Structure 1
C-alpha cells in the first residue's frame, strides 16, 4: 500500500537530478543497501508554516543505519540522496539525524545566518575525546579563540613550518627504501605524526611515538562507537584512555613551552596575545594542541594516501607530476617551490574531492528552523555532507571518475558553487590549517615522486573504512620501486 508519505518522497525525488551511485562489487553489499524501510516524517511542521516534513526511515531495529553508514560511507549517502532528495533523516547511534546534502542545503547549515545550528552536534560524537577543540566552540567564543589562534597560521609562520617539515619529510620518505610493498597508509601516518611533532611541538618523536599515535587513532574512532560506555575492550573506553594519555603528554611539556620563545605551534599558542590582551589558559593550550595535532596528521595522512592511490592507478599523472618535482632540483622545497607544483595541486584537489578527509560536519539545531523549506525542530542533530556534495552531477562532470583537469583554469568545476567542493568545511568554522595541510601533502608527494615509482595491480580498488575518518581497510599495499 502506497502511503501519502511515500508519495511525498517520490515527489521530492523527482525534483532532484539523479546522483548515480557506483555499482558495488559484492552482491550481498548491493542487497543490504537496496533494502527499503517504511518512510516516515521526522516531525510534523507547525500549522500554517508552509514547510514540508523531512522524510526518512529508521532502518533496522535498535542499530538503525549505524553500521550501514560506517561500512559504506559515501555509497550509503548517495543511495539516501536518490531515495529522499537533498534533506533526509535516518536513525543512527540512537539518534534521528538529518543530513543536508547538496550545495544549497549545505550552505543553509554552514552559513547559518540565523544562528540556528550549533557546534553541539560535534559534541555528541567527540566532546569526551576532544573537549573544547576549536571545532567544538560556538559563536562569539569560537570567534575569540580563532582570532588568537590565527596568529599561529600567518604566512610568515607557514613559511617557517614548511622549512621545518621539509627535511623531516625527505628523511622519512627515504627511510622507506627497503620496504618494497609497504602498507602506505601506515607508513604515511607514522611520518605525518613525526612531522606534526617536529613542526607543532619543536620536538623529535621519541620512544612514546607509537603510544601517542595509537592514542590519536583510538580517540578519533571512539566517536562513532556503537556502545557508548567504557566497556573493557570497547572503542569508547579505548578513546577515553587515549585522551588521558594525550593530556598527560602535552601537560608535561607545557611549562617548557611557556618559558621558551620557539617558532613551533605549541610555543605560538602559549604566547599568542590579541591587541586586547586575550590569551589562552593552560587548559586551552592543551585542548587546542590535542585537537590540532589530531587534525593535522590525520587529515594529511588521508589526503596523501588518497592522492598516492590515484597516482598509482593513473601512472600518466604520476609521471607528469614527477617531471615537475624533478625540475625543482635537489633543494629542500619552501612554500614558493611547492606553489610551483601545479600538477600536484590538481591531483591533490581531485583526491580531496573523491575522498573527503572529513566526510560529515555535524551540527545541532538549537531552535526550530528549516532547510530548503523542510521543517527541522530544535534539538535535532543535523549533518552537512561534503563527501556527497563532491559527487553532485549538477557541479561535476562524470563525478566518479578521476579527472584532475576539472580544477584547471578554463574548467574550474569547483567554482560552480561555493559549497560544491568543500574538503576543508565552510562558513565560520572553515579549517584554520588548510594552507598548511596543502603544503604538507604536496611536500610528502613531492619527496615520494623524487625517490620512487609506485603501483597497484590493475584490478585493485581501494576500499575505505568509514568507522570515523576514511581509512583504507587494507592499509593500501603498494609496490614501491626506487628510481
Structure 2
C-alpha cells in the first residue's frame, strides 16, 4: 500500500487545474488550495473484504483543517471533494473525521439502513450545550420522542404559530426605519429572537430576552471551539454558562406552561401526547426547548439573511416577489395566504441551496460499515456535507448562479436526486421544524417587501463565517429605504 499511496500523492500533485474549478471568493487565500499534504489511509480494510481504504490527509500540525473549513466553507468542502472524491478523511477539531459528499454518499448515512451511523457525532460536539435535544438522540428513543414532539408541529399548531408571529414581525420590521448602511443580519437576528420568545414562550423581548439571545450564541459557537476546556474568558466556558442560564430560564417558567394549555410551543410540548399517551417529563421539555429555540432562531436568521442578500443582488427578483406581496393587501397573511406566495418559495429554496444553514451533519459509526465501497471503521466521526451536494454540476445547472427558477415545476432540479437538496437533512432525522421555519422566513420577507426596498453595491459579495453556522462577517450591510 505504500507504493500505491505514493502514486496517489503524485497523481494529486499533478492535477490540472491546481485550484478547485469553483469560482473562489475573493477572500480565499489560494495558497490554502495549492498546498498538498501527504495522503494516507484512515484505516486498512479487513483482509478479503474487497473494500477500499478512505484516503485523506491530516493538514497542518495540531490544528489540521479545522480553521480551513471555518474560514472557507463551501470552497474548502468542494476542493476536498475534487481531490479525494465523495469519501475522504481530514484531521479536524482534534480528531480524524470522514467527510461524505455528494448525493450517493449522503444517502448511505442519512438512510442508514444498517443503523451503523448514530448521532454520537453531534453528542461529542454539542451535548454539553444542547443535552438530549431531539437531534442528539438515536434509533428507538429518537423515534419515541419525535412522535410526541410531532404534536407540537401539526397543521393546526402551525396555523396558530403563524397567527402569533405575524403582528410581531410587522411591528419589528416597521420599526427598523430606512438607513444607508443597515447591518441587516443583526436586525434579523433580533427579530427572529422576538418571534421565538413570542411564539415559543408567549413573551415579548427585553433585557431577559437579550440575555437568552447571548446564551444561545455562546452555546452554538462553543460547539466548534478549538480549545475544548472551560478556560476563563474562552468560548467553551461561555457556552457552559449559557447552557446554565437557559436551563434556569425554562425551569422557572415550566409550572405556568403546564398549568394552562396555551398556543405557544412551550405549552404545546408540556401537553403533547403521542397516540400511546406518552408525554414529556419536565427535564425532557427543558432540553427540547433549549434545542428547538436554538435551531429555529439561528436557522431562520441565516435563511432570511441569505434570501435578503440575494434579493438585494437581484432586484428583478425582489420586484417580482414584492408584486405578489402587495397584491395580498394590508391584512397580515394567514398560513393559507403565505402558501400562495410562489416567488418567495422559489427564492427561499434557492437561498437554502446556496447557503445551507447547517453546513455539516455529524454522525458517528457504531460498527464497521462501508460507504461506496470504502471501509469506515466503528467509532469514526463522520460529517455529511450538503455543501457538496448543493453545488454538484451533475445535479444543478450552473450551480454557482442564483437561479430560483431551478425549483419551478417545469424544471425541478431538486428532483434530480433524493439527496441533491438537503438543507433540512433527511431520513429519520429530517428537521421536524422545517415547515415552521419556512413559514417564518416567508412571512418575514413578505413584511420586508411591503415596507422597504433594499440594495447592495454591484461589487459587494457577502463573506460567510463558518465557525459554527454561516454568519455574514460584516453583518450584511444594505441600503434600506422605506417604500
Report the equivalent of 1:228: 228
Deviation at 1:236, TM superposition (A): 0.5
Report the equivalent of 1:287: 287
Report the equivalent of 1:148: 148
SS for the counterpart of 2:5 is helix
Measure the CA separation in 2 of the matches of 1:396 and 1:263.
Answer: 41
Structure 1 length-normalised TM: 0.97
Deviation at 1:389, TM superposition (A): 0.7
Is 1:23 aligned to 2:31, yes or no? no
Contact 1:222 1:238 in 2 (8 A): yes
Q: Output one character per residue of 1:433-454: Cα deviation in whole Å (capped at 9) or x when no partner.
A: 0001110000000000000000
Deviation at 1:3, TM superposition (A): 4.4
Deviation at 1:20, TM superposition (A): 3.0
Report the equivalent of 1:353: 353
1:151-166 to 2 correspondence within 5 Å?
151-166=151-166
Deviation at 1:277, TM superposition (A): 2.3
Q: Output one character per residue of 1:24-76: Cα deviation in whole Å (capped at 9) or x when no partner.
A: 425x7111222110000000000000000000000011110011111111111
Measure the CA separation in 2 of the matches of 1:455 and 1:34.
Answer: 35
SS for the counterpart of 2:88 is strand
> CA 1:328/1:236 → structure 2, altered by over 3 Å: closer, same or farther?
same
Is 1:105 aligned to 2:99, yes or no? no
Deviation at 1:314, TM superposition (A): 0.4
Measure the CA separation in 1 of the matches of 2:35 and 2:460.
Answer: 28
Measure the CA separation in 1 of the matches of 2:403 and 2:286.
Answer: 41
Contact 1:97 1:380 in 2 (8 A): yes
Deviation at 1:5, TM superposition (A): 1.7
SS for the counterpart of 1:208 is helix
| Poorly superposed stretches of 4+, deviation over 6 Å | none
Report the equivalent of 2:309: 309
Measure the CA separation in 2 of the matches of 1:471 and 1:73.
Answer: 11
SS for the counterpart of 2:56 is strand
Report the equivalent of 2:87: 87
Report the equivalent of 1:175: 175
Is 1:40 aligned to 2:61, yes or no? no
Measure the CA separation in 1 of the matches of 2:153 and 2:92.
Answer: 36
Report the equivalent of 2:239: 239
SS for the counterpart of 2:176 is helix
1:316-331 to 2 correspondence within 5 Å?
316-331=316-331
Measure the CA separation in 1 of the matches of 2:232 and 2:331.
Answer: 50
Contact 1:19 1:392 in 2 (8 A): no
Deviation at 1:7, TM superposition (A): 3.3
Measure the CA separation in 1 of the matches of 2:6 and 2:137.
Answer: 39
Contact 2:97 2:381 in 1 (8 A): yes
Contact 1:103 1:389 in 2 (8 A): yes
Measure the CA separation in 2 of the matches of 1:273 and 1:78.
Answer: 44
Measure the CA separation in 2 of the matches of 1:419 and 1:20.
Answer: 22
Contact 1:19 1:81 in 2 (8 A): no
Report the equivalent of 2:218: 218
Contact 2:456 2:479 in 1 (8 A): yes
Q: Which runs of 5+ in 2 are unaligned?
A: none
Report the equivalent of 1:66: 66
Q: Output one character per residue of 1:413-436: Cα deviation in whole Å (capped at 9) or x when no partner.
A: 000001000100000000000001
Report the equivalent of 1:332: 332
Report the equivalent of 2:341: 341
1:449-464 to 2 correspondence within 5 Å?
449-464=449-464
Report the equivalent of 1:372: 372
Contact 2:464 2:473 in 1 (8 A): yes
Deviation at 1:233, TM superposition (A): 1.4
Measure the CA separation in 1 of the matches of 2:276 and 2:82.
Answer: 51
Measure the CA separation in 2 of the matches of 1:20 and 1:337.
Answer: 42
Structure 2 length-normalised TM: 0.97
Deviation at 1:274, TM superposition (A): 1.9
Deviation at 1:23, TM superposition (A): 2.4
Contact 1:19 1:391 in 2 (8 A): no
Contact 1:39 1:57 in 2 (8 A): yes
SS for the counterpart of 1:181 is strand
Measure the CA separation in 1 of the matches of 2:6 and 2:372.
Answer: 19
> CA 1:388/1:6 → structure 2, altered by over 3 Å: closer, same or farther?
farther
Report the equivalent of 1:444: 444
Measure the CA separation in 1 of the matches of 2:106 and 2:275.
Answer: 34
Measure the CA separation in 2 of the matches of 1:248 and 1:76.
Answer: 39
Deviation at 1:179, TM superposition (A): 4.0
